[in-house]
Amino acid sequence: MRRLFSVMMLLAVAMSAMAAKPKFEIKHVEPLSWWVGMNTPLQLMINGEGISAYDVSIAPEDCGVAVAAVHKADSPNYLFVDVAIAEEAKAGTYTLCFSDGKRKYEYEYVIAERAEGSRERQSFTTADFVYLIMPDRFANGNPANDSTSDTAEKAVRSNPGRRHGGDLEGMIAHLDYIADLGATAVWSTPLLLDNENGASYHGYSCSDYYLIDPRFGSNELFKTYVEACHNYGLKVIMDVVPNHSSTSHWWYADQPFKDWTHQWDKYTQSNWTFSTNMDFNASKADLYQMESGWFDRSMADMNLDNPFLLHYFKQWAVWWVEYSGLDGFRVDTYPYNEKGPMSQWCEAVMAEYPNFNIVGEVWTSSIPQLAYWQGGNANKDGFDSHLKSIMDFPLHDALRAAMTESGSHVAWGQGMTRVYDVLSHDFVYHDLSNMMIMAANHDTDRIGDVCEGDSRKMKIVHTLLATMRGMPQMLYGDELMFRSTDRTKGHPTLRVDFPGGWEGDEVNLFDASQHIGSQKDVYDHTRKLMTWRKNKDVIHNGKTMHFIDRNNTYAFFRYNDSEVVFVFINNTDAVMPVPWSRYAEIAAGLDVGTNVLTDQSITMTGAKVEPMSSLVVEFIR
């Protein structure tokens, strides 16, 4: 009996020891895969219970792929492993081998062959017209994924602040519509997993940087989407958010390092004052709160001063380009990132893809502050962001204000003079071709609301977007003068569903035959100009000459050695004669041209422009 009792005690102790030591499991290895021949060094972030106690090697040995260094984190559940990939290394499946001296575990890791020409890929340029989609509100191609068991928020289409069900399949199904409008690039708001309990449809609170939200589709479907876009001649711009992640991100409860995200004794929000980056008089305390304060209680502010996090984001960006075939990035809330590390991030992406383009959201009405953020700008503090493109919010503001100040009697400096004034500051910018111009996006009031449903004003706005310097960007539905459902309720109601994108919709506006009245008028005008713009180098790369008037009209020329395009905006309620002789310094000898909107010949001497309308005329020198 004593012997049996002793055996049972030994078994109990053994079972207790086994229970105390959890089963080893590798939960995450990121990046998910890699490629031979890359410029970016590979550093694996490996997450698993107690993994810091394990040694790591790679099999087979002597294959050109080996562990160069292993770094432990503050949390025992992470390892950061530098992997050396020799030039002669072959693509294939390699084995990560883990051992603590007693136990051994293996994990297969793929290092693939790069696509031919990947490094030389081209990106979006001033020749492109960018169409902005909010995926959840564009089209529902697969109702079965509107709500999923592994995500928190469920779809409620009747609620403007909840998910409505738009997805990648819906986007793919309507690429023909986008291409036919004249667009050559598509930017969608984030598609990565956002697993917040509410308002997750916008995607700006990322819960997994390597996973497409299952309510939109899958990683593989995103690759299919990119390929489909390319088949329609559309470049793909991915919206990325390195400044903050969601508190629902899998790493948030167990962060690799204590300074992985910015920590405060109590919740502290950013002061939103990114002028502290270039303000010689700014206090360090204000700059720190701007960079390190959180955007929202559910958006943990990432600390890019941590070198492991910075490298994580560098190779994450490269991974998505290489994996899916992307053509560009749009970076959200750009100035709220630590500017030094973000400059390195841009440099790293460009080092991998020299022809790549990245546009940053720098939301300011200050022209000097905006210019500061464009790479190559001659900043007094010597800072270079290496950010190639910037979003032209000063022009955005001027366009919108001018449309609220139409008519023949405006105060000094109002109306179209605002647009003239913004362009008069172009000397401040380093590269005018790499400026994204827009009248609205997913965060601003609908331009249809600003124009109060006046199709004449909408057409003026789209004439300007099609003919001014920079890269035009248009929010989905603005070509049809979409309006918010209830402006008093903020962003959710301007992010309206595209009629026809859901089964059972009474109207299908993806079908041009169903466009009627003012919507048709705006659509036809926009399509005509944006299609014409595609092959006009004089618009893409030409110079600008404009003329000041205080009567709420605006005239400018886009020109090069062989072509001239004349644009006249009449923002008044009267017929306005074109003062052609006033433009003699550039217009001499250019009396007869082609009206771009009608395709008819037009004689400029004596030409008149109807109230609240625009004239676009092209000439061959």
> SS3 for 351-405, per residue?
HHCCCCEEEECCCCCCHHHHHHCCCCCCCCCCCCCCCCEEECHHHHHHHHHHHCC
pLDDT value, residue 409: 85
Q: Which of 535, 555, 587 is the last residue of a domain?
A: 535
234 and 338 both lie in a single domain: yes
85 shares a domain with 178: no
How confident is the model over 289-306, as a mean pLDDT?
Answer: 96
pLDDT tier for residue 617 given thresholds of 50, 70 and 90 = very high
Paired with 29 in beta bridges are 46
Residue 468: phi, psi to the nearest 5?
Answer: -80, 170
Q: Give the dihedral sign, CA 335/336/341/347.
A: negative
- Render pLDDT for 518-541 as a digit per residue (tens, 0 to 9): 999 999 999 999 999 999 999 999
Mean pLDDT value of segment 569-598: 97
Q: Are residues 508 and 379 in the same domain?
A: yes
pLDDT at 4 over 60: no
C-alpha–C-alpha distance, residues 500 and 511, integer Å = 8
- Say if 106 falls within a structural domain: yes
Asked whether residue 519 falls in the same domain as residue 446, the answer is yes
Summarize pLDDT for 146-200 with one digit per residue, the tens. Answer: 999 999 999 999 999 999 999 999 999 999 999 999 999 999 999 999 999 999 9
Instruction: Tell me the average pLDDT across 365-378.
Output: 97
446-450 contact pairs (CB < 8 A, 24+): 446/475, 446/477, 446/478, 446/482, 446/483, 446/484, 446/494, 447/400, 447/403, 447/475, 447/478, 448/478, 448/481, 448/482, 448/483, 449/483, 449/484, 449/487, 449/494, 450/400, 450/403, 450/404
545 and 527, same structural domain? no
Has residue 17 got a pLDDT over 50? no
- pLDDT, tens digit, 9 for 90 and up, residues 329-364: 999 999 999 999 999 999 999 999 999 999 999 999
Using the predicted structure, report yes or no on whether residue 76 has a pLDDT greater than 50.
yes
Any domain includes 282: no
Strands 42-48 and 26-30: antiparallel
Average pLDDT over residues 74-83: 98
> One-letter amino acid identity for 325?
G
Structure confidence at residue 180 (pLDDT):
98
User: Residue 583 sits in a domain of what CATH number?
Assistant: 2.60.40.1180
Contact present, 546 and 420 (Cβ < 8 Å): yes
The order of strands in the sheet holding 613-620 is 543-547, 553-559, 563-570, 613-620, 592-595, 601-603
Q: How confident is the model at residue 13 (pLDDT cuts 50, 70, 90)?
A: very low
Chain centroid to CA 444: 15
Q: Which among 291, 361, 479, 497 is annotated as catalytic?
A: 361
Structural domain includes residue 358: yes
Same-domain status, 235 and 317: yes
The residue type found at 99 is: S
Question: What is the tens place of the pLDDT at every residue in 203-228?
Answer: 999 999 999 999 999 999 999 999 99
Q: Both 504 and 547 in a single domain?
A: no
**Among the three residues 57, 79, 112, which one is the final residue of a domain in this structure?**
112
- Give me Rg for the CA atoms of the chain: 28
**CATH value at residue 399:** 3.20.20.80
Cα–Cα distance, 602 to 537 (Å, whole number): 22
Q: How many structural domains is the chain composed of? A: 3
Virtual CA dihedral for 439, 440, 441, 443, nearest 10 degrees?
A: 140
CB atoms < 10 A from the CB of 44, how many? 21
11 domain-assigned: no
Residue 265 has pLDDT above 60, yes or no: yes
Residue 11: φ, ψ to 5°: -65, -40
Beta strands in 53-180 (DSSP E): 55-59, 65-72, 78-85, 92-99, 104-112, 130-133
pLDDT of amino acid 34 = 98
Q: Identify whether 332 is a catalytic site residue.
A: yes
Residue 24: the pLDDT is 67
Span 459-479, average pLDDT: 98
Cβ neighbours, 10 Å, residue 90 = 12
**pTM score:** 0.95
pLDDT at 489 over 60: yes
Domain range for 57 is 22-112
Q: Which of 513, 535, 557 is the last residue of a domain?
A: 535
266 Cβ neighbours under 8 A, 6+ residues apart: none
Q: What CATH number did the domain enclosing 60 receive?
A: 2.60.40.10
Same domain, 517 and 547: no
Q: Would you state the pLDDT for residue 7?
A: 40
Q: Is residue 287 part of a domain?
A: no
Secondary structure letter of residue 66 according to DSSP: E
Looking at residue 114, the DSSP 8-state letter turns out to be: P
- Picking from 145, 194, 193, the residue whose alpha carbon sits closest to that of residue 166 is 145
Residues 528 and 547 in one domain: no
State residue 230's pLDDT score. Answer: 98
Q: Where does the pLDDT of residue 25 fall: very low under 50, low under 70, confident under 90, or very high at 90 and above?
A: confident
pLDDT at 79 over 80: yes
Number of neighbours of residue 132 by Cβ within 10 angstroms: 23
Q: Is residue 121 part of a domain?
A: no
Q: Does residue 106 sit in the same domain as residue 141?
A: no
Establish if 2 belongs to a structural domain.
Answer: no
Residue 88 designated active-site: no
Question: Is 263 a domain residue?
Answer: no
Confidence of residue 23 (pLDDT cuts 50, 70, 90): low
Asked if residue 502 has pLDDT above 50, the reply is: yes
Same domain, 530 and 545: no
In the prediction, which pLDDT does 568 show?
98
Q: Average of pLDDT values for 482-506?
A: 95
Instruction: Convert the pLDDT of each residue in 27-70 to its tens digit.
Output: 999 999 999 999 999 999 999 999 999 999 999 998 999 999 99
- 237 and 139: one domain? yes
Which residue in 146, 194, 322, 332 is the catalytic one? 332
Distance of CA 175 to the CA centre of its chain: 18
The one-character DSSP state at 484 is: -
